[in-house]
A and B are shown apart, each in its own frame.
Chain A
């Protein structure tokens, strides 16, 4: 799997090991990267994000029994363009006592972090902008830039509500990073590598990671933590529209607010992409077959055909996850900040830690033999399924006991206090 590291003339041909072939810094590579930047990152992804905003408004409207934007263009399809024009032509105000440079820098930081996540996602075979051998650590590293940007936004606005929103946001993001990272450890364990391309390949042989009890639990934890990481309802306390005006982006208007907006939806897209790659096997249509990658021959035509299938299925899966996030937003109420932190630290972190052990059990039972057989898979599912269900039940039970012994400051009667009232 490893390729050549260094050539003799280091300056002219820097070669670092990619998935199975070294990457040389010649014109072809620069052209590839320039193409990715100009076509992918500057055109395609913002376009997808703009229409995600339209989709969200339509979906939320349908959930609320109304129609949504339908004036600008057929079905309101030109609405994102109208929104973009409005945001660009709006006045960019900066509060007088705000720190101007930091005020401008904050949305740039958040947006950069969202874009950088997309740089390691394998959309199809060979269709990955950069294949890093330590892709998962890179993902965690760039997604840890977001809390910094949000804190700077809140701080530089010199506004109590902004600061409050920023502190809540940072607390929430930092807390939910732990279960998110811990949930990706089973995936790295099974693939034997941190590279997303290797994880994708491993799922071709052993089935999607979600079709195994530890993988299912990891998927659930990763999705919940991912929703929290992008500040979506029910975790959108930082930008709680009805409580603290708009939280950390109160003082932003015009295109700077547009940058935050873009960053949020791009993060939603990025988290959906990463979930698809890590747990649902990227663009493969069927869980346990190697189709269509086993059709890959030597000809470019087969490569194009296979990649078309992979990219289409990948985008469909990403669309599904994006729809799920919109659905959750339209349905669930917002969580209170102490319950939110409670949930992260007392439920998700212990569960994801236990999940690592169960992932080890699954590895020993199913993956170490080398080939996926139905018997192994069945036994593995039974054993780890029992363990996972027991762990979830145990964690919830322990937390209930803890809450009964020492209730969080609830302003409605809990079960215990109501029982005590009745007994009196």
Chain B
């Protein structure tokens, strides 16, 4: 019990990754780079989930593995989102000939 990893180290890592991902979503102009930053954010949330599952108090009525199951569902949703996102980016690329999110500025045409 003496040289285990404190919980808040995991939380700091997740917070740092979340902040970096958020900076990426805000600053990057290339649509694929924005998707990559979104994936970083989702992974940070997953680390949070599993860390709290392992270290924290058990939630009554939710079984032995709530954090892990929720993390698996988040991974599933993230994969689906990337697939649809790439499809959308390809469509936008066909329309505007660039993968620049600043140019995706009209819904008509």
Q: How far is the CA of A12 from the CA of B3 in the complex (A)?
A: 9
Over the window 9-53 of chain A, the binary record of Cβ atoms lying under 8 Å from chain B Cβ atoms (1 yes, 0 no) is 111100000000000000000000000000000000000000000
CB of A148, distance to nearest CB on chain B (Å): 15
Question: Which residues of B lie under 8 Å from residue A8 when comparing CB positions?
Answer: 1
B105 interface residue (CB < 8 Å to A)? no
Q: How far is the CA of A11 from the CA of B3 in the complex (A)?
A: 6
Question: Which residues of B lie under 8 Å from residue A10 when comparing CB positions?
Answer: 1, 3-4
CB of B79, distance to nearest CB on chain A (Å): 13
CB of A12, distance to nearest CB on chain B (Å): 8
B2 interface residue (CB < 8 Å to A)? yes
SS of A interface (majority)? loop
CB of B54, distance to nearest CB on chain A (Å): 11
Query: How many chain-A residues does the 8 Å CB contact rule pick out?
Result: 5
Chain B interface extent, by class: under 10
Q: How far is the CA of A11 from the CA of B5 in the complex (A)?
A: 9
Question: Which residues of A lie under 8 Å from residue B3 when comparing CB positions?
Answer: 9-12
Over the window 1-20 of chain B, the binary record of Cβ atoms lying under 8 Å from chain A Cβ atoms (1 yes, 0 no) is 11110000000000000000
Q: How far is the CA of A9 from the CA of B3 in the complex (A)?
A: 7
CB of B99, distance to nearest CB on chain A (Å): 17
| Nearest neighbor of B3 in chain A, beta-carbon distance | A11
Question: Which residues of A lie under 8 Å from residue B1 when comparing CB positions?
Answer: 8-10
CB of B36, distance to nearest CB on chain A (Å): 15
Q: How far is the CA of A10 from the CA of B3 in the complex (A)?
A: 7
CB of B47, distance to nearest CB on chain A (Å): 18
Q: How far is the CA of A11 from the CA of B1 in the complex (A)?
A: 8
Q: How far is the CA of A9 from the CA of B4 in the complex (A)?
A: 8
Residues of B within 8 A of A (CB): 1-4
- The 7 tightest CB contacts between A and B, nearest first, are A11-B3, A10-B4, A8-B1, A9-B2, A11-B4, A9-B1, A10-B1
Given contacts A9-B2, A10-B3, A11-B4, 8 further A-B contacts (CB under 8 A): A8-B1, A9-B1, A9-B3, A10-B1, A10-B4, A11-B2, A11-B3, A12-B3
A-B contact pairs, 7 of them (CB 8 A): A9-B1, A9-B2, A10-B1, A10-B3, A10-B4, A11-B2, A11-B4
